[in-house]
Amino acid sequence: MDILLKSAKIIDEESAYHGAVKDILISDGVIKQISNHIAAEGVDKVLENTYISQGWTDSSVCFGEPGFEERETLENGMLTAQRSGFTHVLVNPLTHPVADNKQAVMYIKEKTKHFATTAHPIGALTVESKGEFLAELYDMQNGGAVAFGDYKKPMHNSNLLKIALQYTQPFGGIVISFPNDAKIMGKGVVNEHIESTRLGLKGIPALAEELCVARDLAILEYAGGKLHIPTISTAKSVALIEEAKNKGLDVTCSVAIHNIQFTDEVLEGFDTNYKVLPPLRDTENVKELRDALQRGAIDFVTSDHNPLDIELKFKEFDLASFGTIGLENVWGVLSQYTTVERAVTLLTSARKRFGIPTTPIAENTEADVTIFTPEGETVFTKEMILSASKNSAFIGATMKGKVLGIIAHRQAILNDGV
């Protein structure tokens, strides 16, 4: 299939064409020509006035399979990722059994190998994600795991985290440590602030996150290694990580797209789709997260996509599970809070961090690209949800721009109406 992008703006800092507006001819998944003008005769598909970048990467998604197929299968999860503009996704070990061994990692790789999007498993850091014993980290990396972490489960044993950072150094492994002190969190369900008091909901103090961030950074400074802190949500967490980077520590962090979009004021209606972990914070913290995106203090943005079936969400707020889907909404939200160039950086920089090869946009290279536009607005509705589970915090929210499609693995996936 031949696809011609007419007057496409190239956003790729690794490419010689960065910032240029060019015609781009892609034939059977290979970028054949980049020029000021390419004739459209004989071309199967022509797209005009688009943007193109290296393919986007989401550093935190859950697909359920194996074990939780009622929430999301690998097949439908990968189809959702493709339609949402991602050519690479890091798949959390939120499965049953937990992906804590090489065979489980290879299962995910094998089951998803035919899609345009590539799945990169995150192996569990500890056996069954129980936080007691380190899992088979080296074997899992040999099987295709790109990092190791226990999804939404903090490492209570400080010494085990230290050992993990030391153990992974010889083979360049990346440790993911979710920052949340369960004892301080207690039975909290929302951000501890004015809204939690007003609504009568138990609060989760920002301290529960910030204490773990400070501890993990102190351990990293002592032990060395590579640390990724996922889905931070407070201004102090940002400041602590910035300070650590200035010291030269090898640390990165991400923020979930819903923690950028919403403040805890949306909890007024007790909609359990807004029950997430870390919780939606107050206006002051959300403003700092948005500012940190622009100045580069936060390394990448994630959907933190977590499909949950109706039985886990359609219940009293206190009893509902934490989590929202969000793959479909990342671009539509992120484009509202930063420049196109910065947004693309936030959606592509995870590739280098997790050792995923990058391919600059150039002639005679296999395409691994996302095609999109920052123009236009739509209101996201339940009917637009591609995921099997419908637990979306974004229903009714305004999205800016649109994902037009991806081209990767010599496959072109174009969205409806393109």
Quick check: 417 pLDDT over 90? no
pLDDT, the chain, mean: 97
Q: Alpha-carbon torsion 290, 187, 391, 273, what sign?
A: negative
The Cα 394–Cα 333 span in angstroms is 9
Tens digits of per-residue pLDDT, 106-156?
A: 999 999 999 999 999 999 999 999 999 999 999 999 999 999 999 999 999
- 238: pLDDT strictly greater than 90: yes
Q: Could you list the active site residues? A: 304
**pLDDT band at residue 57 using 50, 70 and 90 as cut-offs:** very high
Q: Bridge partners of 379?
A: 398
Grade residue 20 by pLDDT with cuts at 50, 70 and 90: very high
Confidence of residue 416 (pLDDT cuts 50, 70, 90): confident
pLDDT of residue 418: 80
User: What does 221-278 look like in DSSP terms, one character per residue?
Assistant: HHH-SEEEE----SHHHHHHHHHHHHTT--EEEEEEHHHHH--GGGGGG--GGG--SS
Tokens matching residue 375: 């123009």
State both tokens at 137.
């980290």
Residues paired with 255 in a beta bridge = 301
What are the pLDDT digits (tens) for 267-323? 999 999 999 999 999 999 999 999 999 999 999 999 999 999 999 999 999 999 999
Class in CATH terms, 56-354: alpha beta
Q: Cβ(92)–Cβ(59) under 8 Å?
A: no
- Dist CA 143 CA 324 (whole Å): 29
Against a cut of 0.75, is the pTM above it? yes
What percentage of the chain exceeds 90 in pLDDT? 99
Predicted local distance difference test score (pLDDT) of residue 22: 98
Buried b / exposed e over 367-397, threshold 16 CB at 10 Å, is: bbbbbbbbeeeeebeeeebebbbbbbbbbeb
pLDDT mean over 161-184: 98
Domain positions in the chain: 56-354
The amino acid present at 96, given as its one-letter code, is: H
